[in-house]
Structure 1
Amino acid sequence: MNVLDAAAVFAAGVAAGGINTVVGSGSLITFPTMVALGFAPVTANVSNNIGLVPGSVTGAYGYRDKLKGQRARLLRLGSASALGAAVGALLLLALPATAFKVIVPVLIVIALVLVVFQPRLQGYLRAREMQREHGGPMLWSGVFGAGMYGGYFGAAQGIVLIGLLGTALNEDLQRVNAAKNVLSALVNGVAAVVFIGSWALGRTDIDWLAVLLIACGSTVGGLIGAKVGQRIPPTVLRGVIVVVGLVALYKFLA
């Protein structure tokens, strides 16, 4: 990797860290950048996932004020994210990507529908007392599925999580986004542990320079994204989520 390539990977990491904190889908910037620079797809995916972990952590830390009162909920849902991430990461190492290429666009569409109609769905569930503090078993299962997808690839997992959490929980969008950041960080962290373990056993390749560049960039981007994201009104934030989701859908279908 020459100096220009390194600068491109670092810049992609900054952008991805910011986008992941505000919405999700930052991997749609870093992953294509690495592939365009000549990285093998699986190596790019694995290195990208590990590199984005620090940015996920700083993004979650930046939303710490919005996390007050959500500890018990995040412990419960965090178990679903961790288990799902481990399964997804193992699938990435064992299976071809063709199966997930079919289901990813479907997940994005469902998530966008949930985000767009979230206020009405929340009102419907609240009126019938169907919302719970922790979301119930259906939300746990949904978060597990999102974690499995996030461990496998990760792009747009934030949008899927926002759609699920925003619909099932009686919370405003900023607090939902804060919870999403914690769960996304957990997914990336667990998947990273699986990938590093596989690398230690000589079963997968990791480009550690790319990991370092993305880690540094995403850390900066995560801090910036946390400051910007919390100032965005809910309606505008919902619009940003939809736009990013449509771009993600286009890239998957193109």
Structure 2
Amino acid sequence: MSGLEQLAVLAAGLGAGVLTSTVGVASLLSFPVLVAVGLPPVVANVSNTIGMTPAGLSGSFGYREELREHPRVTATVIATCAVGSVLGAVLLLALPSSVFEAVVPWLILGTCLLVGAQPTISRRLRRRHPEGEEPAARTRMSPITTGFSTAVGAYGGYFGAGSGVMMVAVLGFGLDLELRVVNGLKTLAILSGNLIAALIFVAVAEVDWRAVALLAAGSVVGGYVGARVGRRLPPTLFRVLVVLAGSTAAVTMLT
């Protein structure tokens, strides 16, 4: 890589780190940059996963107060995404990269729509309860929510683009938590999935360590900065940004 290309990868790591801790579409910024500077797609995907792991670490540290509020949910998110990412990493190494190309954009787009519509859908579901009876707040993950969380972890280990958006949708529908807490859990989910997948990739896959170092240097700063921004975003603005970012990503992948 030339000096300008290295600078581009460093900048991509910084920007993707911010996105990791806010709207959750980081790989759709960093991955294309790695391919553009000459890395083969699978090497770029592997190097991107390893290089973006520090963003999840610094972002989760930035959300540490939110993550302490519901320790059982936090532990479940870590476990499910770690288990799922093992499956996703194995699929990445065993299957051609074209397997999900036709499905992923529509999956991301559909998830964005769910994130945007979640408050309205949740209000309508609450109206089905008898009048005067307030449903108990859901602060523990049900088996269904746990299963979907594991599936998002698997997707994150395989490709990862838009996995944060998907986790926001899963946690938003499955739990009654403040959005700032959901955002922190989403960032932790990305970290958990990336960390396990990265350990597998380091052992068995081809890695471009120069790209990893540049991404890591940028992403560790961006992840923390993004957390400081993300925990202060008004819920409505956060949902709008998630929908816009995810929709843009989906359309970009379709063209």
Q: Which segment drifts farther, 230-239 or 67-76?
A: 67-76
- Per-residue CA shift, 1:140-189, capped at 9, x if unaligned? 11111111110011110000000111111101211110111111100000
Residues 173-252 of structure 1 mapped to structure 2, 5 A cutoff? 173-198=179-204, 204-252=205-253
Please tell me whether the aligned partners of residues 28 and 155 of structure 1 are also in contact (alpha carbons under 8 angstroms).
Answer: yes
Structure 1 residue 125: deviation in Å?
Answer: 4.4
Q: Unpaired segments of 5 or more residues in structure 2?
A: 130-134
Alignment-mate amino acid for residue 242 of structure 2:
I
Matched residue SS, 1:149 = helix
Structure 1 pair 97–131 and aligned structure 2 pair: CA distance change class (3 A): farther
Select which of 142, 156, 160 maps to 2:166. Answer: 160
Matched residue SS, 1:98 = coil
**Counterpart-to-counterpart distance in 2, 1:78 and 1:125:** 28
Please tell me whether the aligned partners of residues 108 and 250 of structure 2 are also in contact (alpha carbons under 8 angstroms).
Answer: yes
Q: Does 1:100 align with 2:107?
A: no
Q: Percent identity?
A: 40
Q: Which segment drifts farther, 226-235 or 128-137?
A: 128-137
- RMSD over aligned Cα atoms: 1.4
**Counterpart-to-counterpart distance in 2, 1:80 and 1:130:** 24
Select which of 151, 175, 179 maps to 1:169. Answer: 175
Alignment-mate amino acid for residue 251 of structure 2:
Y
Q: What number of residue pairs does the alignment pair up? A: 249
Matched residue SS, 1:99 = coil
Residues 1-254 of structure 1 mapped to structure 2, 5 A cutoff? 1-126=1-126, 128=129, 129=135, 132-198=138-204, 204-254=205-255
**Counterpart-to-counterpart distance in 2, 1:155 and 1:23:** 11
Please tell me whether the aligned partners of residues 89 and 158 of structure 2 are also in contact (alpha carbons under 8 angstroms).
Answer: yes
Q: TM-score, normalised by structure 2?
A: 0.93
Please tell me whether the aligned partners of residues 114 and 164 of structure 1 are also in contact (alpha carbons under 8 angstroms).
Answer: no
**Counterpart-to-counterpart distance in 2, 1:77 and 1:20:** 16
Matched residue SS, 1:140 = helix
**Counterpart-to-counterpart distance in 2, 1:125 and 1:76:** 25
- Per-residue CA shift, 1:50-95, capped at 9, x if unaligned? 0000111101110112122221112123221111100000100010
Q: Unpaired segments of 5 or more residues in structure 1?
A: 199-203
